[in-house]
Structure 1
């Protein structure tokens, strides 16, 4: 390489004939020359070289910029490494896009003027030979081409909804019109309305070797500059150095420094392929040149040409091999892209130094690396091409090299089904493991390329404390879903170890909200770690009859696995009600038992998960009387939710919506089994009263929604629309509500958007869950419904000392009582406690003489035994109600043990 002249771009540097240049660092040596200044000036050979070039480019890549400036690969490498400082128009190299939405077109205007070179006389008369001994330079500038260049960069930022590809095409068209407009006249005559609109939003950046009073920043300003560029270049004389030619100093004196090695970019496979193909083309042409004249002159047979063509078709350079190699390269790139596109947040490590800095970082204990292991293997195709060129394939025809056979047998690493399968498994393991441990600061996940022929494709490598500890690491992965068993009030989980990696113990996670619930991403899971990897674990601290969801993870010494699928369950539990004196007929006992069960089981027609996710500002078990400010005040579309139980011996309760002045905008009073009274109290005076039938019976549970409408307060009671009370005072003045009377409130809250809530969608469409079989959609394990009666044996049979608890809902469209053929001595009670759409509860106490039946907290029936109690072994429930819960109560010393059947 040191025996040839070199042609390089000046890039705005002051390079003139006679200057010394060091190609090792791509720098010039100022102030030191081989010749006297006067001699250099007098003996220059000068020629005029007037020439103009105009080019357009839509690419922002450094390669395209280097091509426009005619920069060699070696000089480009020096620029990238900071060895070369550019100036003038060459500063265009440093201009890059700042946004992905930026569309760009670059216009290059180049004009050459003069060519100057040293004469042989100068080269032979060295004035200062001591320069050779200093070895500071490798070349001398022997010729310079002068002129000037201008780059104008046109940028347009596209909007989110615009087609970027289409915008780039339009921008290219607008910029391409500049030479035409400068000749023909006004831009407005040559552009469409869309092009004019685009031109107004184009920004311009100017880089040039000429001086301007003010750089252009808009399209119109760029147009004016373009018109002036030729005249401005003439004013600057011969301009600045654009291209220089360098002559090796060692050819003038062997003591001079030599450029021993230039950076060989052909190491990159595509560039190497291009170079080999170019060399092969030259060989093919030479072979044809040797035989064609002889064939035409009759001194050689046609066979010579057929041999050359046959050799070509069987060479590694035939078209099928070339296409296959390019297809394989493209496929490899696509595979790498598809494997990394889902890992955008994972660091890609591109050098061993970067890998070491991550592994040795003081805050990182563990590095898990997805490594591509087959990217640095020798390319058999390129090796075969190179061998063919070296073997002078067209002079030694008929011979095949070993590489040719290898090429035919070679297959890309990614075509192996086994490798492909293993790569997919490794990607899945790496992705799930990194997602499960992404919040662990001591664990770092990376992607790298490390050659490992023993693990082709990909492998997962584990680094601990800076060292590679496992080149084929298998992290713990998603375990099977847990098996849930319940007995004696306990919940036992059966767990399984991870199918991969080593499981040291488990991490159990549970919560009351379904994993499919809208609040699932908000509510956190309760976490408990097991002490070892035994496959059974007992959950404690759970509430009976509540529905839970449980899952678990395998834990290794490095991290945790992806969570298993969630499993729902409820379980058998026991409640204890302590009394001071046992008497089956004692009302206080029944009341205490009923209150305990109902506040534990809950009496809402909607599931706890629905209430938790859609009702906000919840207050549980407030003390009556209760006064509370309305969070955020009243507004249209808002609703207030009230769920509770009225006293069995009570008469009424009241909801009042009041203002700061003491006025009552809405007075809602429920007289049990009679009517609702609605009114307002304004300026210390009650207004006209409105009455509607009440569907709340004594002792029953109820749910009320008060929906704020434009016209007034719309009240839903037990799934039925009961009343619409028109506004008598502006709703904006209402800021307080009060509850008082014969009632126990379980839950109070707010529904922010009634029309979009589950409650509003069902109740306003009048297709509510209390009119269809969907009534039990949120009940984990209902007992029975009108189309599915209950018939099962009673555990242990009936005996004195037992009490049975039932809880259900009456359908909203219930209009008749079930009837059949009964014994003529049946007992009937008028004005029954069951109300359309309302929840109810029944406690049936078994004593030695009779059945005592309490409905909604009121003693309703006493029925003497007609069949011995010990012969009663089966329970049958059927009729027009939805029975949601059933429990058996036992007497133990002075306590009641309430047992709920296990439901899985």
Structure 2
């Protein structure tokens, strides 16, 4: 591998000339130097480097963000493994969409001012040679490019009824129009009515190195902030931060110094990044399902999604932490790349692989979609939970309560049990300790998981059984007719509810009289009108 100087993005870290750096961990070592301050200041070269750049991105991928911040593949791997604590504009790397119902465009502004470097004659005059024996660092910072950067992230959420491509197109146009908009007297901007309406629907998140009074949160505030950015460094050239640093290998100064033995191959970093993106996609899908209004309405659905989310979050932390622990060992020559390869192989054979996560999430979405299709056909009838239902049943002004009741929402999901068991198992503990897994071990793991029924399709859920769906449609039709016939009854209440009843699959119509459950399979018929003069059910009971 290359043993010469290398460039590294600063990413908001307080890097400075003469500072020691450990490329194995991609971390700087404060308080320890090769030279004293007097030597550093005496052998310093400063050159002006005025450059301004503006870029736009409609991608939310880590790869796209890394390109904007000029992050190398190796540094990106360290970031994914949690080795790099970013700050300032580099916090943009952590800002990912939380929902699939979210369009995003980023405007990235970059400005450099000066370049500082140590002279080559200075490198050989070591003030503190004991650093080489400590072997805590592999490189020293010999040059720094200063400036400031800012990422303005514009988001626009949209509903299922809106056209995603149309929203994204309009958002792109609005963000890319910011440099061309001019702010007139009293802060007014020359916009059309459609542009003003669109601007009100756009939120902004600011990640920057610039010292500004208040971070913008709206489109109009971001527009005003953008117009001031070019003047901030001109008015105070000291308000700059390291943008990029150049590292010189210590072993070229002294052979006893620690070295970067090997780099992680680009293909393996790409594989790791692909897994991170897959996990991010699963997280967004889960977030959307949890935010669904029906999830809060039906506690059994909510409980399953929260169980999934808890296991998922634990596993992702363990997986990426394991990646972060093997990277320094590989770079330092203590382990081979295979230790990282085995972790990725084990992930793909685990219950948290993308295909299994997506399969379960798609089924959870299908379940919610079916519930939505039923509840939407009962417009004007509220969904009620067990607590509120009890309150209604004890109301002396209510004689009868009739509920369209979902009876199969509560069930034990074997896949969720597998997820929970996996993050607490011996297997995950070995992953958490970042041990090197042999090919035989990985194969054994895959075989074991296959034998324990890891498939998401290990049992048939209620909404996949045709006979259940058929009965539910019949119940829905009867309940709708009954609700319409009794909509003016003042001492009767109609609701949608969920009560677990293993003996009745899918749904049923529950009848309560005077606070007591009378019939769990109420079957209204519509043969003749009832007598007038008192509260009654417009039906006969089979």
Compared CA separation, residues 521 and 218, structure 1 to 2 (3 A): same
Richer in strand (by share): 1
Compared CA separation, residues 64 and 706, structure 1 to 2 (3 A): same
Question: 5 Å matches for 1:262-273?
Answer: 262-267=263-268
Question: 5 Å matches for 1:684-833?
Answer: 705-707=527-529, 734-735=533-534, 750-751=538-539
* Matched residue, 1:86: 86
CA distance in 2, matches of 1:90, 1:23: 19
Contact 1:462-1:471 at 8 Å conserved across structures: no
Larger Rg: 1
CA positional deviation for 1:518: 4.2
Richer in helix (by share): 2
Residue deviations 1:43-67 (CA, integer Å, cap 9, x gap):
1111111000001111111221111
CA distance in 1, matches of 2:48, 2:413: 68
CA distance in 1, matches of 2:478, 2:2: 84
Contact 1:133-1:255 at 8 Å conserved across structures: yes
Contact 1:26-1:75 at 8 Å conserved across structures: yes
Contact 2:73-2:266 at 8 Å conserved across structures: yes
CA positional deviation for 1:475: 8.7
* Matched residue, 1:394: none
* Matched residue, 1:174: 174
* Matched residue, 1:47: 47
CA distance in 2, matches of 1:251, 1:452: 38
CA positional deviation for 1:261: 2.4
CA distance in 1, matches of 2:209, 2:413: 52
Compared CA separation, residues 631 and 241, structure 1 to 2 (3 A): closer
CA positional deviation for 1:82: 2.0
Compared CA separation, residues 470 and 232, structure 1 to 2 (3 A): closer
Question: 5 Å matches for 1:183-198?
Answer: 191-198=191-198
CA distance in 1, matches of 2:67, 2:76: 10
CA distance in 2, matches of 1:145, 1:181: 31
CA positional deviation for 1:476: 11
Of the two structures, which has the highest relative contact order with CA contacts closer than 8 Å and spacing of 6 or more?
2
Contact 1:2-1:248 at 8 Å conserved across structures: no
Contact 2:53-2:111 at 8 Å conserved across structures: yes
TM-score computed with the length of structure 1 as normaliser = 0.35
Residue deviations 1:446-474 (CA, integer Å, cap 9, x gap):
799xx999xxxxxx9776xxx947999x9
Compared CA separation, residues 439 and 249, structure 1 to 2 (3 A): same
Compared CA separation, residues 246 and 166, structure 1 to 2 (3 A): same
* Matched residue, 1:258: 259
Flag structure 2 segments of 5+ consecutive residues without an equivalent: 274-303, 320-343, 346-358, 368-407, 423-437, 441-445, 461-466, 494-524
* Matched residue, 1:100: 100
CA positional deviation for 1:100: 2.1
Residue deviations 1:239-275 (CA, integer Å, cap 9, x gap):
1110000000000000101111222231368899xxx
Residue deviations 1:650-689 (CA, integer Å, cap 9, x gap):
xxxxxxxxxxxxxxxxxxxxxxxxxxxxxxxxxxxxxxxx
CA distance in 1, matches of 2:206, 2:526: 73
* Matched residue, 1:229: 229
Question: 5 Å matches for 1:75-224?
Answer: 75-182=75-182, 191-224=191-224
* Matched residue, 1:19: 19
* SS of residue matched to 2:75: helix
Contact 2:110-2:149 at 8 Å conserved across structures: yes
CA distance in 1, matches of 2:178, 2:473: 60
Contact 1:462-1:470 at 8 Å conserved across structures: no
TM-score computed with the length of structure 2 as normaliser = 0.56
CA positional deviation for 1:519: 5.7
Contact 1:347-1:446 at 8 Å conserved across structures: no
Contact 2:183-2:189 at 8 Å conserved across structures: no
User: Aligned pairs, how many?
Assistant: 362
Contact 1:34-1:127 at 8 Å conserved across structures: yes
Residue deviations 1:339-397 (CA, integer Å, cap 9, x gap):
xxxxx9998999xx99xx9xxxxxxxxxxxxxxxxx97xxxxxxxxxxxxxxxxxxxxx
CA distance in 2, matches of 1:234, 1:85: 29
CA positional deviation for 1:5: 1.4
Question: 5 Å matches for 1:321-400?
Answer: none
Contact 1:2-1:259 at 8 Å conserved across structures: no
Compared CA separation, residues 37 and 521, structure 1 to 2 (3 A): farther
CA positional deviation for 1:443: 7.6
Compared CA separation, residues 38 and 182, structure 1 to 2 (3 A): farther
CA positional deviation for 1:81: 2.0
* Matched residue, 2:249: 248
Contact 2:77-2:269 at 8 Å conserved across structures: no
Compared CA separation, residues 736 and 52, structure 1 to 2 (3 A): closer
CA distance in 2, matches of 1:48, 1:112: 9
Compared CA separation, residues 520 and 263, structure 1 to 2 (3 A): same
CA distance in 1, matches of 2:120, 2:417: 64
Residue deviations 1:18-59 (CA, integer Å, cap 9, x gap):
111111111111121111211111211111110000011111
Give me the CA root mean square deviation: 5.0
Contact 2:18-2:33 at 8 Å conserved across structures: yes
* SS of residue matched to 1:86: coil
CA distance in 2, matches of 1:71, 1:173: 27
* Matched residue, 2:295: none
* SS of residue matched to 2:534: strand
Contact 1:347-1:445 at 8 Å conserved across structures: no
Compared CA separation, residues 159 and 242, structure 1 to 2 (3 A): same
Residue deviations 1:600-627 (CA, integer Å, cap 9, x gap):
xxxxxxxxxx9999889xxxxxxxxxxx
